[in-house]
Structure 1
Amino acid sequence: MDRSLPLNWLDLPDHIQAFISEKLVHIKDYIRFGAVCHSWHSIYTQNPHRHLMHRQLPVLMLSSDYGKTKIYDLSSERVHKIPVRVREYYEYSRCSTEGWLVSKPVIWNPSLHLFNPFLSVANKIELPWLLSNFYFDKVVLSANPASNPHFVVMAFSLSSVCSDNRKMAVYKPGYEAWKFLDCKCNKIQDVIYYRHQFYVLDCDGAVWACNATCPHLILWNVVQVPPLELKCVGRRMYLVESSGVLLQVTRIWKQRNGYNLHPHLTVTAEFKVFKLEQVALNWVEMTTLGGQTLFLGDNTSMSILASDFPGCKPNCIYFTDEGFGDTVGEFGYIDMGVYNVENGSTEPHYPQNYKTVRNPAPFWIEPTLGASSFVQ
Structure 2
Amino acid sequence: MSSLLVSLSSKPFLRKLALRCHTLRHLSSSTTTNPYMMYCVTYCGDNVSYDGKEYPVAGAMTKLRMYDPAKEDYFTVGDKPLPKEMVRSSLVGSSHGWGVFFGPHNSTLISDYWNPSSSKSNPKMIHLPPRPDHLNKTGLVSSVAMSSSPEEDDCVTAVKFKGRQVNIYKPGLEDMVILTPKLFEYFDKGKLMYSKRDQRFYILSSGGRHLCSFSAAESTTPQYHDLRFHNFPQFSVSESLDFVIGAKKEYFVESPSGQRFLVKWYVEDPATKYVEDPVLKRLKPKFRGTGRFMVFREEEDMNMCYTEDIGDLCIFLGNNEPFCVKASSSPGLNPNFIYFAGEGYNECFGDYDIATRTPRNFIPKSISAFSDLTTNGQGQVYMVCDWVPHWVPPVSL
* TM-score normalised by structure 1 residue count: 0.71
Q: Over aligned residues, Cα RMSD in angstroms?
A: 3.1
Q: 1:119 to 1:255 in 2, by over 3 A?
A: closer
Partner residue, 2:108: 112
Partner residue, 2:96: 98
Q: Distance in 1 between matches of 2:42 and 2:29?
A: 38
- Structure 1 residues 107-140: Cα deviation after superposition (integer angstroms, max 9, x where no partner): x332111112334468211100111212323221
Residues 224-373 of structure 1: pairs in structure 2 closer than 5 A: 224=227, 226=229, 230=243, 233-242=246-255, 243-257=257-271, 264-266=285-287, 267-277=289-299, 279-323=300-344, 333-348=346-361, 352=365, 354=367, 359-369=386-396
Instruction: Supply the AA of the counterpart residue of 2:107.
Output: S
Equivalent residues of 1:141, 1:151 under 8 A apart: yes
Equivalent residues of 1:71, 1:82 under 8 A apart: no
Bigger shift: residues 81-90 or 314-323:
81-90
Residues 86-165 of structure 1: pairs in structure 2 closer than 5 A: 89=86, 92-105=90-103, 108-117=104-113, 118-120=117-119, 123-134=124-135, 135-146=140-151, 148-157=152-161, 159=162, 162=163, 164=164
Residues 169-248 of structure 1: pairs in structure 2 closer than 5 A: 169-183=167-181, 184-185=183-184, 186=186, 187-194=188-195, 195-205=198-208, 206-214=210-218, 217-224=220-227, 226=229, 230=243, 233-242=246-255, 243-248=257-262
Equivalent residues of 1:63, 1:69 under 8 A apart: yes
Q: 1:289 to 1:367 in 2, by over 3 A?
A: closer
Deviation at 1:78, TM superposition (A): 3.4
Instruction: Supply the AA of the counterpart residue of 1:152.
Output: V
The yes-or-no answer on 1:57 pairing with 2:58 is no
Deviation at 1:271, TM superposition (A): 0.5
Instruction: Supply the AA of the counterpart residue of 1:142.
Output: S
Give unmatched runs, 5+ long, in structure 2.
Answer: 1-25, 45-62, 233-239, 274-283, 370-382
Deviation at 1:92, TM superposition (A): 2.6
Higher share of residues assigned strand: 2
- Structure 1 residues 221-268: Cα deviation after superposition (integer angstroms, max 9, x where no partner): 123264689455520111110231111101012224357xxx945432
Partner residue, 1:11: none
Instruction: Supply the AA of the counterpart residue of 1:235.
Output: K
Matched residue of 1:207: which SS? Answer: strand
* Number of residues of Structure 1 aligned to a counterpart in Structure 2: 301
Deviation at 1:75, TM superposition (A): 4.2
Q: 1:288 to 1:350 in 2, by over 3 A?
A: farther
Instruction: Supply the AA of the counterpart residue of 1:234.
Output: A
Equivalent residues of 1:119, 1:369 under 8 A apart: no
Instruction: Supply the AA of the counterpart residue of 1:179.
Output: V
Equivalent residues of 2:228, 2:302 under 8 A apart: no
Q: Distance in 2 between matches of 1:224 and 1:22?
A: 32
More relative contact order, 1 or 2 (CA 8 Å, 6+ apart): 2
Matched residue of 2:93: which SS? Answer: strand
Equivalent residues of 1:63, 1:359 under 8 A apart: no
Q: Distance in 2 between matches of 1:61 and 1:87?
A: 18
- Structure 1 residues 69-120: Cα deviation after superposition (integer angstroms, max 9, x where no partner): 3222334533113332368749632221111111123xx3321111123344
Q: Distance in 1 between matches of 2:28 and 2:169?
A: 35
Deviation at 1:280, TM superposition (A): 3.2
Bigger shift: residues 114-123 or 297-306:
114-123
Matched residue of 2:328: which SS? Answer: helix
Equivalent residues of 1:61, 1:72 under 8 A apart: yes
Matched residue of 2:304: which SS? Answer: strand
Deviation at 1:368, TM superposition (A): 3.2
Matched residue of 1:189: which SS? Answer: coil
Bigger shift: residues 312-321 or 81-90:
81-90
Q: Distance in 1 between matches of 2:29 and 2:200?
A: 29
- Structure 1 residues 300-355: Cα deviation after superposition (integer angstroms, max 9, x where no partner): 101001011111111111100112xxxxxxxx534211011111222256874556
Instruction: Supply the AA of the counterpart residue of 1:296.
Output: L
